Chains A and B, each alone.
Chain A
Amino acid sequence: MRLRNGVYHLMTSAVSDFKRSKIRTFLTSLGIMIGVFSVVMLIALGLGLKNYIEGQFESLGANLVIIFPGMVFSEEGGLGGNFGPGFAGGAHFKERDVSALDKVSEIDYVVPMFFKSMVLSANGEEILGYVTGTNEEMFTVSNIELLEGELFSRSDNQRRRKVAVLGYSAAQELFSDPRVALGKRVTASDQRFTVIGVAKKKGDREMDNSLFVPYRSTFGTINPDKTFFAIYLGITSKDAVETAKQRAEETLLKYYEEDDFSVTEQSEILSTINQIFTIINVILVAIGSISLLVGGIGIMNIMYATVTERTKEVGIRRAIGATQKDILLQFLTEAVTLSVMGGVLGLVLAGVMVLVVRQFFPVALNLLAVVLAFGVSSAIGIFFGVFPARRAASLPPIEAIRYE
């Protein structure tokens, strides 16, 4: 009877113990899983965002100087003032500025850029695209080539004719085949434009979904203020860029305060964006690290509980010849396994997430993320596992074996 009771008790307690530690194991690695997942995801997002922005700028032609409203990029290279139009304090560029800049001999192309997200409809289809009010030189400066038809001309602009060059993706979505778009009409905000040209695919979402029209043709319902978001300057000779920038600045200072606009080279913008995303990345990784830290503390907590629970087991192992080092390694291995398991889970989850998110937003994983997931999770396992493992190893054998 005594024997039966003893075995029964051992059985039930062992079974419940096993069940409990299964859930516990999962919950414990969950902390690391979330931590690794967030760090990897954040890196993927940061990397993707950076690639995206860089791609956007690289698709523009060389020796491009952009005039933005506000103090976008300060002299020190940091981010200062306002970014983009619509923010307080920035200049709203006018046709007058374009004409003034045109007179500067060092500047070869002056391209005003009006840019507005709008519903484009044609052929019974509707898409959310963009209307880009500009001049024909924009196509040279931005390296946009035509697939079909022709560009609008200077006189089209002067006469405010409702003609347009349609971006490749927009043409494809509205007319199924970009080639049949030629001669058709596309409506944007009640204005009907005749498509006289279709652009080749550029690989840039905004450009490919744009309806490019002569800027003067937007004056009215689409662009009632007759302003531009930016002015692009194309400079043929690399050596002339610095003087051109200076002259452009001098020209605009006649109309605006120094803080109302900024004249920036593409390379400067790129390096500043690089800096900004490096900072964002560091911040994001810091946030992820906090969850990893919390996950590590979770492991330490569970390992301490495990050591107490398994005091008897430690005693048994010591009695049959396990050294302190053997016990230390046993518990350390357990902690690291727990942690790396969480790390791998987090990495896999992040991988799946990247595949899903990639449909909507450019995200990218790199080797660094994978190495980081393994490295960081094993480091956490070691760091937070070593204290409980040392406690287990330093249990006096006699006390451990007598422990009930």
Chain B
Amino acid sequence: MIELAKVYKNYYLGEEEVAAVSDVSLKIKPKEFISIVGPSGCGKSTLMYLVGLLDTPSAGKIFVDGKDVSGLSDSELSVIRNQTVGFVFQSFNLINKFTVLENVLLPTRYTKLKLAFDPGRRAEELLNKFGIYERRNFFPNKISGGQQQRAAMVRALIMNPKVILADEPTGNLDSKTGEEILNLLERLNRDFQTTVVVVTHDAAVAKRTQRQIKMRDGRIIRS
């Protein structure tokens, strides 16, 4: 579904070149539950952003459904992000001036095509399923971290994407709430058949996934 072929990503800090991701080749198949593990700074987030088309590689190619995306325009990439990918972040990244419901509906506002579902109804269903329906009219900073992350997951799911990319989704949560979020990700993979990629530096988290991709210094050392 998403394939990376010899992908590199280099950053420049002044004169110094930082190889955040080096020579990464990777295939993400439908319905997979994958974890990317490795120490802090090894390039996990960079890799995830490349997979989610938020970033472009310095070298190498990325294919989505067999199609090379390197030639796509910014708005074509935006369309793929909107329809195919759902992001979940460590710091939730909800927009604080909007309510939970408004945040959750935001991706539907950026769709250029006619939606196959009723956004309002789908949002209510998902909020219900994730146990935060009662919080729908709250502002993100008025609810708990676990609830914010659930809201963020509903936002990631609203467009019914093929893949959910979660960057340390439990990193800002206590272990009990983190466990709940992980359970939800697991259920999501099982019940919705959505591909889930979880970035983590926690081995216990990684153990629960079907496939672990180990990284070190920007390279995949085991997958």
A binding-site residues for B, Cβ under 8 Å:
2-3, 6-7, 10-11, 14, 18, 312-313, 315-326, 397-398, 401
Contacts and interface: CB of A to CB of B under 8 A. Distances in A.
Interface of B: 49, 52, 54-55, 74-75, 78-79, 81-83, 87, 89, 93-97, 106-107, 110-111, 139-142, 144-145, 155, 159, 172-174, 177
B139 to A, nearest CB: 8
Contact of B87 (A11, A14, A319, A326): A319
Contacts of B172: 2-3, 6
B76 to A, nearest CB: 9
A169 B164 CA distance: 85
A63 B188 CA distance: 94
A320 B54 CA distance: 10
A22 B109 CA distance: 26
Contacts of A6: 145, 172
Contacts of A398: 49, 54-55
Contact of B82 (A3, A10, A321, A397): A321
Contacts, number: 78
B74 A316 contact: no
Nearest first, the 5 closest Cβ-Cβ pairs linking A and B are: A321-B82, A398-B55, A321-B110, A323-B75, A323-B78
A321 B145 contact: no
A146 B100 CA distance: 79
B54 A397 contact: yes
Given A316-B95, A401-B89, 12 more contacts: A14-B96, A317-B106, A318-B78, A318-B81, A319-B81, A320-B155, A321-B81, A321-B83, A321-B107, A324-B74, A326-B110, A398-B49
A324 B49 contact: no
The secondary-structure label for the interface of chain A is helix
A320 B81 contact: yes
Contacts of A323: 74-75, 78-79, 110
B78 A3 contact: no
B74 A3 contact: no
Looking at B54, B107, B173, B177, the one whose CB has the most chain A CB atoms below 10 A away is B54
B174 A3 contact: yes
Nearest to B107: A320
Contacts of B83: 321
B54 to A, nearest CB: 5
B163 to A, nearest CB: 13
A320 B81 CA distance: 6
Contacts of A320: 81-82, 87, 106-107, 110, 155
A319 B95 CA distance: 12
Nearest to B46: A398
A313 B93 CA distance: 8
A318 B52 CA distance: 11
24 contacts: A2-B174, A3-B145, A3-B177, A6-B172, A7-B141, A10-B141, A11-B141, A11-B142, A14-B141, A312-B93, A313-B95, A315-B93, A316-B93, A316-B95, A319-B54, A319-B81, A321-B79, A321-B81, A321-B82, A321-B111, A322-B78, A324-B74, A326-B78, A401-B89
A318 B54 contact: yes
B97 to A, nearest CB: 8
B177 to A, nearest CB: 8
A105 to B, nearest CB: 86
Contacts of A324: 74-75, 78
Given A321-B111, A323-B75, A10 B96 contact: yes
Contacts of A312: 93
Nearest to B86: A320
A312 B173 CA distance: 21
A313 B89 CA distance: 13
A398 B11 CA distance: 12
Contacts of A3: 144-145, 172-174, 177
Nearest to B165: A319
A316 B88 CA distance: 10
Instruction: Name the residue among A11, A312, A320, A326 with the largest chain B CB count within 10 angstroms.
Output: A320
